[in-house]
Structure 1
Amino acid sequence: MTPPVTALRNYDAVELRRLDVAHHLPAQADYGEIRDLGGSRIITRAEGCQFWDIDGKAYFDGMAGLWCVGVGYGRKELADVAHEQMLELPYYNSFFKTATAPAVRLAAKIAGIAGGELQHVFFNSSGSEAVDTMFRMVRHYWAVQGQPYKNVFICRRNGYHGSTVAGASLGGMSAMHAIGSLPIPGIEHVIQPYAFNEGFGEDEEAFATRCAQEIEDRILQVGAHNVAAFVGEPIQGAGGVIIPPKGYWQKVEAICRKYDVLLVADEVICGFGRTGQWFGHNTYGFTPDIITTAKQLSSGYAPISATIASRAIVEVLREKGGDFVHGYTYSGHPMCCAVAERNLEIIEREDLVTRTREVTGPYLAKALQRLVGHELVGEVRSQGLLGAVEIVSEPGTNHRFGGKEGKASPMVRDACISNGLMVRGIRDSVVMCPPLIVSTSEIDFMIDTIEKSLNQCLPALRAL
């Protein structure tokens, strides 16, 4: 790792931490814990695949921020584009038959990348908003065809689809459902394709069939005439980098077509190169009717997301839908669109999707194999530049420390962070999602640091 770099501004660490506790409510945090710690970890600078905190400590960013910083930090080119656009047209809305040049250009760019029938783009500011747009679009699509009762969504346990009321309801995370009395009505959850936890020892084909069969059974239970869509992430990212068995998505697609159910791919994490193809559905060989995207669309340099719909859906909305009474103040924000377009150009110019598929993705998969056989590791898995290390109390099993999920990974995660590597602990997996620009030597650093951290945590874990 390169030496620490002085931040562009002189920050008073003590004062910022005081203000953080006094006024700032960060996302997905225990506010009492932050108060007791005396403030959050405050980040002041980043470059390439690294960032620095206010105390000058360097970290390798094994999570690409929050699954998003594909082209790495410090891209002056993106800052320049933002500056130029803000001088020319800093803002205008997309309501009432209005558009801006950056929004139109970006929509065309995304349609060209998506290809096929996915040709129509609605802009939002976050992945959660992209999901909300999809939710309303799907229900509207069926309603204008005289089927307002066809409004039930089938999703997966432990899936993640954002933090809004609709998104958190579609997601299958019990901790999120506990806040706000969720899920809302009209949402069903079925098995996740998580063989390590949910498998009965069957082969991939049998497990894929069982998971798909549960979707079909739920459609029949609810009534196909009531089911609007099946929604799933190609790879469940926030659920722990859950990689589906071979054939799973083809089986799911066939079921959706059989019962006239829309197929929605939540590509917020997988989209724009993360899996080694432009989209996760390309990697797994299925064709969705709608996809939701965000994160690597702008590499986190600007808040923007896109809901991308097929020609068939939009044709119905054009002919029968009337006004689609939905939108946000910042839909199609010109600066965000300009930054996103240039970000996609960088991904293309540097051939980062091919590099992920042919170089760094395979290298990560091979490097993870070095952890196989460690007494704390039950499984390693990866696709492209998404990876996970499953922590177990007994080799060759899926047994957890203390007999309960979630005790081991926070400990190992914190050790990794202390050792200069930012990763996440999800359930009992340590997960990683480095920037698309990551080098093979940086991948080695990630895996070596995880191994070091596992060894450091071994005595404390054995004491549980």
Structure 2
Amino acid sequence: MTPPRNSNAARDIANVLHPYTDAKAHLEKGPMVISRGKGVRIYDDQGKEYIEALAGLWCASLGFDNERLVQAAAAQMRKLPFYHSFTAKSHEPMIDLAEMLIERAPVPMSKVFFANSGSEANDSAIKMVWYMNNALGRPQKKKIIARMKGYHGITLAAASLTGLPANHKLFDLPLPGFHHVSTPHHYHGAHDGESEEDFATRLAQELDDTIVKEGPETVAAFWAEPVLGAGGVIVPPATYYEKIQAVLKKHDVLFVADEVICGFGRTGNYWGSQTFGIAPDILVCAKALSSSYLPISAVMVNETVFQGIAEGSSAVGTWGHGFTYSGHPVAAAVAIETLKIYDEINLIGHVREVGPHMQSELRRRFADHPLVGEVRGVGMVAAIELVEDKAARKNFDPGRKVGPRLLKHGEEHGVILRAMINDSIGFSPPLIITKEEVNEMLDRVEKALDGLTVELRRESIAAV
């Protein structure tokens, strides 16, 4: 149906190029226009209500109408609406926020650098690693290893870290020097009869072999999300990070934890690194840092990394990196208030209560469904993977767009979902969601899945 000429949808089609969208199809179908939000719910410009099962993009941890964050932004706008952090300039919100992050870090950290998105933060961390190694007289130690299905952003370097085909095709990516090892997904990657621990051992050996093949003197860092997010909410197997870190330590390779999704309570601890026993050299965070009310991200580095940067900047005369909006005072003020709220409402305790309920309900409702191959997750992040053949763990042909079709059924029933690779459907609701709202969300998902099941059954009958 063509949108009315003067509608919001028509104006969008005429003027907006959307991220992660089939631009040609968008000209025909148009957007869903969201007008307002309240709690875990959003409303489109026709007044229809939806439960946001992914908190926007894994990020609106405090929901869509937190007045304290609004007031924090307004107060800072009146006091100091902008100032930069170049050439040793500073301001109180940036200083206070850096201090709060250092206090909350999962392992001792030395300094915090601020950017505006997870992509910028990961890109900055890459530059830090390269800069440090140059300063320390190791100019060959530049290669970076990430994982297939990992997601680390969309700038040229961050997209090279990312291990998803759509982020590489037609972009001439990844750039040279970026390598990828296997996805730590036991459901698809394990050999017959292979335990999680044995699978983890094999993946650690693969990483070791890759480093040796490339030359340990050339490999600088390993990048990992504690739980892979956009690649399908993949929870690594037992003992995986213990074994991976032993390999990195042996070869003097830095561990960079991408906590853009997992940070600030999503996995049931303040950091995903704490949930999985990770001791990162660099930690990248964003999204829930401000509940995504304003763009801000951060890179925390340990003393070793900082000293390398300090030595290099002394030799050059400056550390020639930064953004106009690094540590923007209004964004920093909102982030400070966000962290205060997390503490005051005991958000981690809430996630530890509601998260297991969400995980158990997902399994109770969907694990035995004929279209669901696997239900997986931890804390308040999860996925159900739709499959054509449950016994064979066979996915649907991507051309059938089964995952996106479930999303449309979900919208009809008032729930916003996210379809990822292999028709994995993500769940990452605002962290303030209640058990009752979880039940309501999953009731709507059940109706959507029932509708998709009927649709696919009719297609099968018609094909006979």
TM-score bracket, shorter-length normalisation: over 0.9
Matched, 1:409 2:403: yes
The equivalent of 1:35 in structure 2 is 27
The equivalent of 1:437 in structure 2 is 432
Correspondence for 1:74 among 65, 69, 73: 65
**Unaligned stretches of 5+ in structure 2?**
none
1:32-53 per-position Cα deviation (integer Å, ceiling 9, x unaligned): 212112x311101001000000
What secondary structure does 1:87 align onto? helix
Query: Counterpart of 1:74 in structure 2: which amino acid?
Result: D
Which whole-Å CA distance do the structure 1 matches of 2:359 and 2:109 have between them? 31
Which whole-Å CA distance do the structure 2 matches of 1:115 and 1:108 have between them? 14
8 Å Cα contact 2:106-2:273 kept in structure 1: no
Which whole-Å CA distance do the structure 2 matches of 1:213 and 1:124 have between them? 35
Query: Counterpart of 1:450 in structure 2: which amino acid?
Result: V
The equivalent of 1:4 in structure 2 is none
The equivalent of 1:457 in structure 2 is 452
TM-score normalised by the chain length of structure 1 = 0.94
Matched, 1:62 2:57: no
Answer with 408-417 or 51-60: which moved more.
408-417
Structure 1 position 243, deviation (Å): 0.5
8 Å Cα contact 2:259-2:271 kept in structure 1: yes
1:41-68 per-position Cα deviation (integer Å, ceiling 9, x unaligned): 1101001000000010100010011110
The equivalent of 1:418 in structure 2 is 412
Matched, 1:383 2:375: no
TM-score normalised by the chain length of structure 2 = 0.94
Query: Counterpart of 2:169 in structure 1: which amino acid?
Result: A
What secondary structure does 2:355 align onto? helix
Q: 1:311 to 1:89 in 2, by over 3 A?
A: same
1:404-457 per-position Cα deviation (integer Å, ceiling 9, x unaligned): 587321111221122111111112111110011001011112222222222211
Correspondence for 1:280 among 266, 272, 275: 272
What secondary structure does 1:146 align onto? coil
Matched, 1:315 2:310: no
Structure 1 position 320, deviation (Å): 4.4
Which whole-Å CA distance do the structure 2 matches of 1:198 and 1:261 have between them? 25
1:344-377 per-position Cα deviation (integer Å, ceiling 9, x unaligned): 11111111112212x1111011101221211111
Which whole-Å CA distance do the structure 1 matches of 2:9 and 2:218 have between them? 51
Structure 1 position 209, deviation (Å): 1.0
Query: Counterpart of 1:55 in structure 2: which amino acid?
Result: Q
8 Å Cα contact 1:49-1:61 kept in structure 2: yes
Structure 1 position 459, deviation (Å): 3.2
Matched, 1:182 2:151: no
Q: 1:13 to 1:268 in 2, by over 3 A?
A: farther
Correspondence for 2:290 among 298, 301, 304: 298
The equivalent of 2:360 in structure 1 is 366
Q: 1:406 to 1:105 in 2, by over 3 A?
A: farther
Answer with 411-420 or 218-227: which moved more.
411-420
Answer with 226-235 or 113-122: which moved more.
113-122
Q: 1:44 to 1:230 in 2, by over 3 A?
A: same
Query: Counterpart of 1:101 in structure 2: which amino acid?
Result: E
The equivalent of 2:138 in structure 1 is 147
The equivalent of 2:227 in structure 1 is 235
Which whole-Å CA distance do the structure 2 matches of 1:456 and 1:320 have between them? 60
Query: Counterpart of 1:169 in structure 2: which amino acid?
Result: S
Which whole-Å CA distance do the structure 1 matches of 2:60 and 2:220 have between them? 33
| Aligned residue pairs, count | 450
8 Å Cα contact 2:256-2:280 kept in structure 1: yes
The equivalent of 1:210 in structure 2 is 202
Answer with 304-313 or 316-325: which moved more.
316-325
Answer with 342-351 or 408-417: which moved more.
408-417
Q: 1:13 to 1:430 in 2, by over 3 A?
A: farther
What secondary structure does 1:292 align onto? strand
What secondary structure does 2:18 align onto? coil
The equivalent of 1:91 in structure 2 is 82
8 Å Cα contact 1:13-1:55 kept in structure 2: no
Answer with 285-294 or 405-414: which moved more.
405-414
8 Å Cα contact 2:312-2:319 kept in structure 1: no
8 Å Cα contact 1:43-1:53 kept in structure 2: yes
8 Å Cα contact 2:110-2:306 kept in structure 1: no
Query: Counterpart of 1:417 in structure 2: which amino acid?
Result: E
Which whole-Å CA distance do the structure 2 matches of 1:232 and 1:349 have between them? 30
Matched, 1:340 2:335: yes
Which whole-Å CA distance do the structure 2 matches of 1:366 and 1:350 have between them? 24
What secondary structure does 2:81 align onto? coil
The equivalent of 2:442 in structure 1 is 447
8 Å Cα contact 1:406-1:426 kept in structure 2: no
1:95-117 per-position Cα deviation (integer Å, ceiling 9, x unaligned): 01111110000000111111532
Matched, 1:245 2:240: no
What secondary structure does 1:109 align onto? helix
Which whole-Å CA distance do the structure 1 matches of 2:307 and 2:122 have between them? 20
8 Å Cα contact 1:141-1:321 kept in structure 2: no
Query: Counterpart of 1:355 in structure 2: which amino acid?
Result: H
What secondary structure does 1:153 align onto? strand
1:366-397 per-position Cα deviation (integer Å, ceiling 9, x unaligned): 10122121111111111010011111122333
8 Å Cα contact 2:107-2:280 kept in structure 1: no
